[in-house]
Copies of this chain bind each other. A is one copy, B any other.
Amino acid sequence: MRRRSHWAWGWADRFPDRDARRAIGEQVRAITSFDVKDVTEPVALDAITMPAPRIDAPPSLAAITSIDHEDRALHTRGRSYRDVVRGFYGDFASAPDLVMRPRDEREVDAILDWASSARVAVVPFGGGTSVVGGVEMDERRETYAGVVSLDLGAMTRVLEVDATSRAARIQAGATGPQLEAQLAQHGMSMRCYPQSFEHSTLGGWIATRAGGHFATVYTHVDDLVESMRVVTPRGLIETRRLPASGAGPSPDRLMLGSEGIFGVITDAWVRVQVRPTFRASASVKFTSYERAVDATRAIAQSGLFPSNCRLLDQREAMMNGVAMGASVLVLGFESADHPLEAWMERALSIAREHGGESEGATYRSGAGSADDAAGRWRQAFLDAPYLQSSLVSLGMIADTFETACTWDRFATLHAAVVRAVRDASARVCGAKALVSCRFTHVYPDGPAPYYTFVAPATRGRELEQWTEIKRAASDALMAHGATITHHHAVGRLHRPWYEQERPSLFEHVLRATKRELDPAGILNPGVLLA
């Protein structure tokens, strides 16, 4: 069986060997003139020490409980830059005492019952891909008798498909590929492709309000959920399966983004799609980023609803090998119903009206059309996180963050964010970071910009240096009216800024909800609420 890396992103076999990483280091040096370090190796799995489990599972749950060394290492944390660095250096001191893999709702319920009475913290665990400290146990580990990582990995089935309504009921532990493979048997697809798609799970997407495939309309998984089942320490919450309702505040919307602090999502009815047969794609170059932003805004406000509307700034365009010295707007439309010429031609007209240059669109039809440029882009997109692990082994800081803001604020925000990251990097790393930006999603009233930055770290001081840069970036987001996260979630990492963003009375509401549903306070302590 293919193994997941105990410290790095994704599959263990995807971590390049020493020579390959050295070559990456040479490339980075050439592009950045950063002081790239010599490659070093992560602490091997068998060299890792972790505290012995402090608790035993009750006999009734023994069959689904693991204290395996590798299992515990894999469940110690997610895959933020901070996590990868700690893993690289072999720090697994906060490993969960036990890993439990319930096979059904009844077993989830039994775990929560036992944990509530035994004062054992429970961290729901889907794909373990959190980049915000969502699945680790924080400093309060010692205030609990034990910590369980509740892994949904044994609940991966598509339970029902309603082809008429284009919806499916899917267990929360299904990863992207697992659920897509099962839906494909019915000619369906969920088409929710967060960057973590390969490993992350439906339950994780819902709990963290993941951002999906579509740049417009159905941007968050929120818009795809019909209903869900959530096992809380107080019992089951099952919402009614509906396309829409206006009956009181939406219970689904309270669970969307609850990040495991109220209950464990066990399955959900979600909207699915018929696989698209028509596709249109185009790219448009702009010499002026400002005009490119205006063009993107005009398209976002046009009502054309492109499935892809990704504005890459010059640096992103260069790094993606798309263009040199220009910003590039990547446009895509897809449909299982109709040819897309009218949509795409109008979008290209808007782009050209704003000074964009394009060689025109490519149109494809037929079922096989995913194995092309769009497919390659998607693969490159899914592969991107793997690069981070190599950069860590080269002593680099490499991270991403994302946000959303209204259009009127974007220019000021963008300038402030880039400046904040570069200045912080210069201060703590001795060199200005490389910062690039793309839009992942766009709304009529604003974009969701996604930032990537790379800076040269000092070995052994990476986390301290990274913390300063992350703080500067996050402070800039807050100061300019943006959100601390459009689709990466809050977890433990973003909590200080989330506390600024969230109305203070809403914190009281969340606490009251928590007391109601999780009276013993065992679920994912430290997430969302301090």
Contacts and interface: CB of A to CB of B under 8 A. Distances in A.
A243 interface: yes
B302 A338 contact: yes
Interface string A244-262: 1111111101111111000
Contacts of A235: 505
A329 interface: no
Interface in A328-375: 335-338, 341-343, 346, 350
Interface residues of A, number: 94
Given A304-B337, A445-B226, A247 B501 contact: yes
A507 B482 CA distance: 33
A245 B509 contact: no
Given A167-B445, A346-B337, A404-B242, A512 B516 contact: yes
Contact of A245 (B162, B165, B486): B486
A479 to B, nearest CB: 12
Interface string A486-529: 11111000100010011101101110110111000000000010
Contact of A490 (B240, B247, B485): B247
A6 interface: no
B246 A257 contact: yes
Contacts of A255: 249
A165 B253 contact: no
B406 A243 contact: yes
Interface string A124-151: 0000000000000000000000000000
Contacts of A503: 236-239, 251
Q: Is the interface of A mostly helix, strand, loop or mixed?
A: loop
A446 interface: yes
A37 interface: no
A331 to B, nearest CB: 15
Nearest to A211: B246
A388 B300 CA distance: 42
A21 interface: no
A244 B219 contact: yes
Contacts of A336: 303
B446 A240 contact: no
This chain's copy number in the assembly: 2
Contacts of A211: 246
B249 A254 contact: yes
Given A247-B257, A501-B247, A165 B445 contact: yes
Interface in A419-433: none
Given A167-B445, A445-B167, A237 B482 contact: no
A405 interface: yes
Contacts of A208: 246
Given A217-B217, A512-B516, A242 B405 contact: yes
A305 interface: yes
A484 interface: yes
A8 to B, nearest CB: 25
A511 B236 CA distance: 17
Contact of A240 (B167, B253, B407, B481): B481
B489 A246 contact: yes
A30 to B, nearest CB: 36
A99 interface: no
A335 B240 CA distance: 34
A209 interface: yes
B505 A234 contact: yes
Given A240-B501, A509-B517, A247 B484 contact: yes
Contacts of A257: 246-250
A248 to B, nearest CB: 5
- Name which of A248, A408, A481, A483 has the most chain B CB atoms within 10 A of its CB: A248
A174 to B, nearest CB: 19
A301 interface: yes
A406 B162 contact: yes
Given A338-B302, A516-B508, A444 B406 contact: no
A194 to B, nearest CB: 11
A271 interface: yes
24 contacts: A165-B406, A217-B217, A217-B305, A219-B244, A220-B246, A237-B503, A237-B506, A241-B481, A242-B482, A243-B444, A243-B445, A243-B447, A244-B443, A244-B448, A246-B487, A247-B485, A247-B498, A248-B490, A248-B498, A303-B337, A304-B337, A337-B350, A342-B342, A512-B515
Interface of A: 162, 164-167, 208-211, 217, 219-220, 226, 232, 234-251, 253-259, 271, 274, 297, 301-305, 335-338, 341-343, 346, 350, 404-408, 441, 443-448, 481-490, 494, 498, 501-503, 505-506, 508-510, 512-513, 515-517, 528
Given A243-B447, A248-B259, 15 more contacts: A166-B301, A220-B246, A234-B505, A236-B503, A237-B506, A238-B503, A241-B406, A242-B406, A246-B485, A247-B501, A254-B254, A302-B338, A303-B338, A342-B342, A509-B517
